[in-house]
Amino acid sequence: MNYFELFRFTPAFTIDTALLAERYRELQRAVHPDKFANDTEQQKLLSVQRTAQINDGFQTLKDPIRRAEHMLALRGIDLSHETTTVKDTQFLMQQMEWREALEDISHSQVPEPMIDGLYQSFAAYQAELTQLLAALLDSELQADWLLAADQVRKLKFMAKLHNELTRAEDALFD
């Protein structure tokens, strides 16, 4: 299913999330199961299925990583079940530095500046990746889409790393 079509958007990485939320509410009102309470079982089932599609589409389009994955899937590049790793050595070295810094937090007498520094470092790198990803997804070249897939892989790693930092922070201050 093309969620961009469902929500009446031109496929693009950058979308108006306020408009997305508005269209989500409109679609939900139109197919809400309560509207079909007196209809046939088939109509009720279709309403529930349509509601699930709308919910999934909304969750996909509002999340930048999932939106990018959806765009790539529409172009024939499916990242959902892959195990491909990023081969960018500079990124791999940066990963190692971040992982070491994460480990150092638990041994630090004053971890707050380290935590803040990592959050800032992650945010800056994610912003850089996201900007490049948007440009690559706007391209009509398949080679750019393959490069975009690498950016998505990196962003997925960054999201995982961000969660690890949050857990480490919670463990220290709880």
What confidence tens digit (pLDDT) does each residue in 142-155 have? 999 999 999 999 99
- Interatomic CA distance for residues 133 and 1, integer angstroms: 22
Lowest mean pLDDT among 39-43, 69-73, 133-137: 39-43
Average pLDDT over residues 56-84: 92
When the candidates are 3.90.600.10, 1.25.40.10, 1.20.1280.20, 3.40.50.300, the CATH number that belongs to 89-173 is 1.20.1280.20
Average pLDDT over residues 117-121: 97
Contact between residue 54 and residue 31 where contact means Cβ atoms under 8 Å apart: yes
Q: Where is 128: in which H helix or E strand? A: helix 112-138
Q: CA 106 from chain center: how many Å? A: 28
pTM above the 0.85 mark?
Answer: yes
When the candidates are 3.50.30.10, 1.10.287.110, 1.10.760.10, 3.40.50.2000, the CATH number that belongs to 3-62 is 1.10.287.110
